[in-house]
Amino acid sequence: MEIEEILEHFHPLPPASKAALKACISEARYPKGHTLIRSGRVEKTLYFIRSGIVRAYSDADRGDVTFWFGKEGDVVISMKSYVSGQPGYEHVETLEACDLYQMKAQDLEMLFASDIHIANWGRKLIGQELIKTEERLISMQFKTAQQRYLDLMSATPDLLHRVPLCHIASYLGITQVSLSRIRAEIR
């Protein structure tokens, strides 16, 4: 997915603003298993996914908990770092070799302060992430694990072929054993 398409997806941008954004963006390729964002730090870089899949996870008592999958067109960003300037609680790692567009958070901050179109673009970007997160929260609150699995299957069926089930189970808020049971029932 080309950078123009990704940027415009959040909110239309006048040509000058788009050019200013693009001027700050470079490309990079990372192998599978590479950590893009590490918890406990104030992250200085953000990414747009040109191709590939990543996951965000947090440390829990027993193992880690995947709470987000990013794919083509998504933004990879430590929300906590980005919003509050404080160390984030999430790790983000690539699950496949990924082509990414990358950008310094500080450059983006400068653009936010100087270009109102970019500021509003950033506002929309965060807003869209918020909606997605809120919808997931609600589905966690009143759907069964089986319904959540079926929803995920119909929304992003390719995920199941590209991501280990242990991460999907964790994303659904259940154990891998539970997920196996659900899958067996459906078959």
Partner DNA sequence: CAAAAAAATTTACAAATGATAAAAAAGCAG
Partner DNA sequence: CTGCTTTTTTATCATTTGTAAATTTTTTTG
- For DNA, the binding residues (CB under 7 A) are 62, 144-146, 164-166, 173-184
Of 28, 34, 97, 128, the residue at the interface with its own copies (CB under 8 A) is 128
* Nearer residue to its own copies within complex by CB, 18 or 50: 18
Is the distance from CB of 70 to CB of 48 less than 8 angstroms?
no
CB of 167 to its own copies, least distance (A): 12
Q: Which of 85, 96, 108, 87 is nearest to 37 (CA)?
A: 87
* Residue 137 to residues 61, 62, 110, 127, Cα–Cα distance (Å): 21, 22, 32, 15
| 160 interacts with its own copies by CB under 8 A | no
Among all chains, which residue has been given the structure tokens 């008592």?
61
Task: Kindly list the distances between the CA atom of residue 12 and the CA atoms of 1, 102, 107, 131, 153, in Å, as whole numbers in the listed order.
Answer: 17, 20, 20, 19, 31
CA separation for the pair 96, 45 (Å, rounded): 19
Comparison of 102 and 175: residue with beta carbon closer to DNA: 175
Which residue among 134, 162, 165, 186 contacts its own copies (CB under 8 A)? 134
From the list DNA, its own copies, none, pick the one residue 183 interacts with, judged by a Cβ distance below 5 to 8 Å according to partner type: DNA
Q: Smallest distance from the beta carbon of 153 to DNA, in angstroms?
A: 13
Among its own copies, DNA, none, what binds residue 122 when CB lies within 5 to 8 Å by partner kind? its own copies
> Which of the listed partners (DNA, its own copies, none) does 166 bind, with a CB threshold of 5 to 8 Å by partner kind?
DNA
d(CA 121, CA 117): 6
User: Per CB under 8 A, does 12 bind its own copies?
Assistant: no
Furthest-apart CA atoms within the chain: distance in Å: 55
Please tell me whether residue 144 binds its own copies under the rule CB under 8 A: no
